[in-house]
Structures are given as structure tokens and as C-alpha cells.
Amino acid sequence: MITAELKEPRHRMSPAQQNSPEQEAALSVLYPPMPESSAPGTLQSAYQLAQKLIGNLRKNTIDNDVLNLMSREDETFFSEYQQMARARQAEEKTLQQSMQSIVDRAFGCIEPYIDELNSNAVTGEVTLAFTPPQRVTEQFGSNGQRKSFYRARVSTSKLSIVIRGGTNIVEFFVLPAPLVMGLSTVEDRYDPLMKFTATGPVDAIEWEVEGKALTSERLERYCLLLLNYLLEETRAELKADSTH
């Protein structure tokens, strides 16, 4: 059992000034006595600080020892808070850079095929247009809430692939081409056709797809399959339109 012994103050207070038993019990828990300082006349413990604080409250005065202790604790807290904030910012920056690299690589797998496919297209309806990766910030609602994504887009006349990167995820949507300007308001109504997710600590980020490591070969294969899906679905919609 841990016990705390309260030292008797050097100068007794009058009955009106003495702490109640409840106050003494609380002080013994919050501020256990410390060994006395060898320097005479110095404040020797947090317990004595608390005693002085209560005495000063009764007299409605400020004690410099108490004020200095509070100031030091406030400075320590602020320094620790700044360090934690800087660490969080560094982690977020690392994740953002890693995510942007994945979006750039995904778009880079598709882009070389665009000119070739366009030059061989038999109709302008399947001609591909694109928007390279860029940061897009959106505003929501009347309170001005903002969201920011790193996006790229590849479109035919009917459908669009949207590659959308968040902090630790890259999602791939196939949406009706006329709706893509609605950005997240539209995208969030659809399930992503594919997504890459970041795992592991910030200093060793790994990316996965369908529970498997996202190797360079796997990233390229999945992105080209997605491009082929876009073209097939576009042709199917054009064919359906021609039969009506």
C-alpha cells in the first residue's frame, strides 16, 4: 500500500485559515510531500506550493512562486504541443507525397496508350480525352467545409475514369462522362471499381490492391485492364444507342 505523509506546516494557521480534512486529503494525493531543500527559506515541495496557493486565495494575492510554476508548466505544454503538431504535419506530408506518386504512376501507365488509341479510333465517340493529375480543392455546404483530392481523368464521349487520391487511398471510378464535373458530390454516389490502400508505418509505407502488394507490374496491369474496361463499356453504350 502506498501512503503519503503530510508534513505539518512550519507556521500554524488559525482555525479559520486551516484546511478542512477533505482539502488536506486531496492535497496529499495531488501534491505528495518531497524531501526538504537544504536552502533555508525556499519553497520545498509542490505540496507547499498548493498550501501557499490556498493561503493566497484567502488573501486575494498573487504568489510569484506559484505563478512561476504555472508559467513553466504552460511553456512545457506548449513546446510539447508544437512538437506533436510538427510530427503530425510531417506524417501527413509523407503520406500525401506517397499517394501522389501512386496517382502519377497510375496515370503514367495509361497516358502512352491514349495517342495510339486515338489515332486508330474508327469513330470520334471513342476518342480519349484526359486531364493530368492535379490537386483539386472543393467546398461543401454553407459552412465552407473544404476537401482536397489529387485527381486525374480519362474520358470517352460516354464514360470517364476518375483516379482520385486521398490521404492514404487511391480510388478508381468509372462514371458517366457528363457527371464528372460534379467531383466528389457525384463520385461518392458510386462504389470505386478499384482502389489502392496505404499500409504500414509512415516511415515504411506499403501500398496494396485486393490484399496483395502493389508491385509495379501489378499496378500497370490493373490500370490497363481499367482502360480496356472503359473502351468496352463505351462501345457497348454506343451500340445500345444505335439500336434505339
Q: What is the pLDDT of residues 43-74, one digit of tens each?
A: 455 666 666 666 656 556 666 776 676 777 77
Q: Which three cell numbers stand for residue 175?
A: 462514371
What was the pLDDT predicted at 237? 92
Q: How do residues 229-238 score in pLDDT, each as one tens digit?
A: 999 999 999 9
What was the pLDDT predicted at 1? 39
Using pLDDT thresholds of 50, 70 and 90, give the confidence band for residue 24.
Answer: low
User: With 0-12 CB in 10 A as exposed, 13-18 as middle and 19+ as buried, what is 139?
Assistant: exposed
Q: Which residue has the higher pLDDT, 74 or 211?
A: 211
Mean pLDDT, range 117-130, rounded to an integer? 86
As a 3-state breakdown, the chain gives helix, strand, coil percent values, each rounded to 5, of 50, 20, 30
Q: Is the pTM of this model over 0.75?
A: no
pLDDT > 90? residue 192? yes
Placement of cell 504568489 in the chain: 63
Closest residue by Cα to residue 11 from 39, 51, 44, 45: 51
What was the pLDDT predicted at 182? 86
**47 and 7 Cβ atoms separated by less than 8 Å:** yes
Q: Give the DSSP H or E segment for 164.
A: strand 159-165
Cα–Cα dist 193/40, whole Å: 76
pLDDT > 50? residue 178? yes
pLDDT > 50? residue 3? no
Closest residue by Cα to residue 228 from 125, 179, 159: 159
- In the chain, % of residues over pLDDT 90: 45
What was the pLDDT predicted at 219? 96
Cα–Cα dist 37/114, whole Å: 80
Q: Give the DSSP H or E segment for 160.
A: strand 159-165
What was the pLDDT predicted at 11? 46
Mean pLDDT, range 22-35, rounded to an integer? 53
Cα–Cα dist 198/222, whole Å: 17
Q: How do residues 134-171 score in pLDDT, each as one tens digit?
A: 999 888 777 778 889 999 999 999 999 999 999 899 99
Mean pLDDT, range 16-45, rounded to an integer? 52
pLDDT > 80? residue 27? no
What was the pLDDT predicted at 93? 87
- The sheet carrying 206-209 orders its strands as 129-140, 145-155, 159-165, 169-176, 194-199, 206-209, 212-213
Q: How do residues 90-116 score in pLDDT, each as one tens digit?
A: 678 888 999 999 999 999 999 999 999
**99 and 198 Cβ atoms separated by less than 8 Å:** yes
